[in-house]
Amino acid sequence: MLPAAAAALARGEPAALVTIVRASGSTPQRTGAKMLVYADGRTLGTIGGGCYENDALGRAREAIRSGTPALVRYDLNDDFVEESGLICGGQMEVYIDPIAPAPRLYIIGAGHVGCHLARAAADAGFRIHVVDDREKFANTERFPAAEAVVVDDIAAWLHQAELPPSAYVVVVTRGHTHDFDALRALAARELRYLGLIGSRAKVARVFDALAAEGMPVECLDRVHAPIGLDIGAVTPAEIAISILAELIAVRHGRDVSAIAMSSGRRVRSLAKAATHDAVSALPAPPPSTPAR
């Protein structure tokens, strides 16, 4: 079972290891029995079959989604077990341990914040991918820990890229237009985390423009924006730390809504629906705009 779990990690596939850690009385399997559960519901091994194994499978899939382990007690005299004919008369405890590969972090924007974030996030166990349209900033010299550094038109690359649902994506480009284009390509996707840097005013303008184009409100509501935890960060390095703190919290299933910069955010800044004119109103970044 452990080699199969290691193989899943090597493939970048999340799973959960379900282990009987205590058994007493009459039970189909004894302490130490294991079952590996994949995110799509496939299993390898067994903890005894029946309704309780099916219940454990469902809990394991939830643990994969949340990243939170669980200890579950089963009384094999329970009604849901009796209905399956498995009247064993015993009790057992099952530990469900989600095992996740190092998550991919896509940093969209290779400026100062992106550079600091890549360094810190690599040390925290994220697999770094950087995307920017400027080779001067997006290169292996500035991002030595990155698995991939892409120099391409940001919007074009994002529209054709296949990002896994387990991916974390941070949009920290150098201007409103690039942020808007990136979010347009990403907001409707299933991602573990999507965050956008910027002031509340900027975030509201970008969201209004996307809503005017027909982006569903529920897609925008999943975006962490403004990004990061509210720790009073000012410098690029401090901002990167605040972002990383939020990424780590999401990775471990923690609720940081009370201290997130996005706390209290409204999807739209206007009471009425925005018009398509909001899109054209987005200013292009001036040539002298400093890189983030």
pLDDT value at residue 76: 76
- CA dist 145 and 148 (Å) reads 9
Residue found by looking up tokens 């040539």 in the block? 287
- CA dist 127 and 260 (Å) reads 23
Query: What's the pLDDT tens digit per position in 39-91?
Result: 999 999 999 887 889 999 999 999 988 888 999 999 876 554 555 555 556 78
pLDDT value at residue 24: 87
Residue 273: pLDDT above 50? no
More confident call, 272 vs 159: 159
Buried b (16+ CB within 10 A) or exposed e, 198-234: beeebbbbbbbbbbbeebeeebbeebbbbbbbeeebe
pLDDT value at residue 29: 85
Q: Where are the domains of the chain?
A: 2-99, 104-280
Contacts of range 154-161, beta carbons closer than 8 Å, 24 or more positions apart: 154/108, 154/109, 154/178, 154/181, 154/182, 155/181, 155/182, 155/184, 155/185, 157/131, 158/108, 158/131, 158/182, 158/185, 158/186, 159/185
What confidence category does residue 101 fall into, taking pLDDT thresholds of 50, 70 and 90?
A: confident
pLDDT value at residue 276: 36
How high is the mean pLDDT of the chain? 85
Kindly report the CATH number that applies to the domain delimited by 104-280: 3.40.50.720
Residue 133: pLDDT above 50? yes
- Closest CA relative to residue 2, chosen from 45, 60, 56, 50: 45
pLDDT value at residue 210: 93
pLDDT value at residue 137: 97
Query: What's the pLDDT tens digit per position in 163-176?
Result: 988 899 999 999 88
pLDDT value at residue 263: 65
- Is the separation of the CB atoms in 75 and 89 below 8 Å? no
Ramachandran angles phi, psi of 157, nearest 5° = -65, -45
- In angstroms, the Cα distances linking 82 to 20, 75, 85, 177 are 20, 10, 5, 61
